[in-house]
Structure 1
């Protein structure tokens, strides 16, 4: 921790830095996959338990080259954006590796997104090709694409010309069906075997630099529309590397049970990529989170690490036949997404045998991890802090005037280091709002640094809601609900929930003489916005609490809702 003179008295300021003698990895994901294949050969790298699929490092390297060459054969070029839309699967993992090998920028699309949300993502970053699952739960992905691109059914594969999404040229399906206007992923891999496309792949791969963009993830924003956070190979390769080192993967290669979504940084960087870089095995238990499938994967594949949000761990611990699973192989893991209460920390250590698990803190814009606890940290530390900065990362805590506060005081958390993202795609103004000229990233979170450099997160500067690890901004939900013909005004707040951490509550004021039931509003939401964005509670109100200047008092709405619904804080 730094010390600075203030008015003649030496006071410790809220600054922390984790210097490291461990060098950065100046490499691309594709290059690392090649060297990993040479080093680890026939060792399993990815197991998709529900697909009964086991792939070695060599197989993934070979198949990713075939798919990468197939992508380029459709006319894609390094730097083009290729989307991936679907639940966890081996094909998702393979697409990530293949896109990086070809120098493409992978755009992660939430599998819960509806057609309008997909349309926004495609247009925001100019997605040229989309790899899509056939379906997931109630989602029929092909039909949803056809809804925004009705021209699809009359187009040849690779020649989509859609008025609403003009950038999209190719739809590539993870399917055995011959769907109109689409390529099949298997067909692209067959094409990629041709020597001319393999040669072209090598030429393209040679031009890819480690500081090139390789991944775009959409983050919620106060404007109501997601922002496209752009990350480089250097960002995420090194984040996966240093996160893995602190958790101990460099000492013992992990077998990671990964029930968290791959479309999120938690899954694709801290899980899949960390496993690859440290010579470990990643186990995908199910397409979406299923607590029983996660426990079964640990039991069957002898995983020594498992990832999840606090909500996921709560669900796993409450599986009816929990005691029937042998979890003694577990040693460590990762918990992130929302605060972890002390009773849960103790349960995870005692009942799941994860004595060395880590708490993580960060955001997509920091690739994602910027703080992490150590395996030897106490229960108290892991339940009250998010650890210290990760290797090579600095932290400041500042007040509303952007001046550094004294140690122990509350302020906004700022981060600086290799992990800071390249910026928001196509949005220089929003990028400047979050990145200072000196390279500090404003997280919007409030925290306190102690004298040892541990950070306690105490709140959020803006009104972000975290529901079961999903980041949701009320503004987006409010704007959508305003499209209902009978709603005059709406305010959305987060309220406490014992399982999800927070749930959404919407206060709704109807237009004069209109009558709408809460269940009718729920029905209006279904199929139009993601399921996790639909408010659990909808309260019809005649008026909202206001300040004397006419501003809505959201804190009062939250307090009144907690009281009215009898919720426990």
Structure 2
């Protein structure tokens, strides 16, 4: 791992290992009551990575991870990177079985890790059975489907529901041991430009397409935001956006290992109640949200007379931020110094455009310095 011209060179597991002996808190999943120190993250990453390779998956296999802001969703992505598996992140709330089929076939995924969806219990398992009835009588890791021919491994994170043909996530953890961890791929030999992730574009203007992303892109996507905003180890950021969006994962999933900044995830689907509690409990200095969500947060805060004085900076991503929303922010966030507005771009796994001076329009449309390499 090295730094040259303010850019980062290395791999995701390399940066996790760099912090791996620290007992400082890296991430908190408040609703689940799970706190990860840097040491915990390294151990969990290694254990799950070894487990994934023990069930017949091979380096460079493609893994689709469907979930939201939960502790093991976060670990799954890092574990795939550690095992030299190529991961992709998606929401578990597919509109129908055809949408899931499109993702699995288009991405040629060999495995899928299914976290609970909002819609119903065992939602993804039901969609998979609809697509491939063979799953109900197949052997674990040996699914043979005409509809989704590349898919062989189904891993369910809903531990209380076990089915023929599917592994549970705890079962994968249980397949790991010290010997298997010691035999994990040697990431120190990998090139920083090695492919680590695939991500679907939003599909708003045309059908969703897959974008290949390297370790270098994910690391520097985060690094660009760290430098633009000035994150340090004294900061604590509260996340109210979904981790399954790759720019959000690149930013918040990796910021502990790049800036030693602590990240708080209030709940899998951050509602105002949990958000307020987490911000107060951990004295968060930064809040990541979007204009729509923040509008709801402010309305609830005003009704309940909630004040959050620890917040110093608010980062709003996505749609345009109405001026009246900015004016209302200081009523509940009285110590806010900056309100930043940015736009995420899957193709660079980051937030290439970010502004925080509402009176200065010269920088609108201008990328951050780290994206002006040419």
Q: TM-score, normalised to structure 1's length? A: 0.61
2:357 equivalent among 378, 391, 403: 378
SS class of match (2:295): helix
Aligned ranges 1:288-327 → 2 under 5 Å: 288-319=269-300, 324-327=305-308
Distance 1:259 1:356 in 2: 17
Q: CA deviation at 1:259?
A: 1.6
The residue aligned with 1:185 is 169
Distance 1:37 1:179 in 2: 36
Distance 1:212 1:24 in 2: 16
2:211 equivalent among 202, 205, 229: 229
Alpha-carbon RMSD: 2.3
Distance 2:306 2:351 in 1: 31
May I ask how many residue pairs the two structures share in their alignment? 368
SS class of match (1:157): coil
Distance 2:182 2:252 in 1: 31
State the Cα deviation string for residues 261-291 of structure 1 (Å, max 9, x = none): 1110342112222233211221111212412
State the Cα deviation string for residues 526-561 of structure 1 (Å, max 9, x = none): xxxxxxxxxxxxxxxxxxxxxxxxxxxxxxxxxxxx
1:389 equivalent among 349, 367, 371: 367
Distance 1:211 1:349 in 2: 43
Alpha-carbon contact 1:259-1:308 (below 8 Å) kept: yes
Aligned ranges 1:339-488 → 2 under 5 Å: 339-352=320-333, 353-373=335-355, 377-381=356-360, 386=364, 388-394=366-372, 417=373
The residue aligned with 2:10 is 27
Pick the structure with more strand per residue: 1
Pick the structure with more helix per residue: 2
Find out whether 1:44 has 2:25 as its counterpart: yes
Aligned CA distance change for structure 1 residues 126 and 298 (closer, same or farther; 3 Å): same
Q: TM-score, normalised to structure 2's length? A: 0.91
- Deviating beyond 4 angstroms after TM superposition, the runs of 4 or more aligned structure 1 residues are 320-324, 384-388
Aligned CA distance change for structure 1 residues 222 and 293 (closer, same or farther; 3 Å): closer
Aligned CA distance change for structure 1 residues 312 and 171 (closer, same or farther; 3 Å): same
2:144 equivalent among 137, 154, 161: 161
Point out where structure 2 has 5 or more consecutive residues left out of the alignment.
none
The residue aligned with 1:240 is 222
Q: CA deviation at 1:296?
A: 2.0
The residue aligned with 1:125 is 107
Alpha-carbon contact 2:301-2:332 (below 8 Å) kept: no
Find out whether 1:273 has 2:257 as its counterpart: no
State the Cα deviation string for residues 342-385 of structure 1 (Å, max 9, x = none): 22223234532331242212411122221222xxx533348x96
Q: CA deviation at 1:220?
A: 3.5
Aligned CA distance change for structure 1 residues 193 and 326 (closer, same or farther; 3 Å): farther
- Whichever of the two has the greater Rg, that structure is 1
1:115 equivalent among 69, 79, 97: 97
Alpha-carbon contact 2:92-2:114 (below 8 Å) kept: no
Alpha-carbon contact 1:29-1:97 (below 8 Å) kept: yes
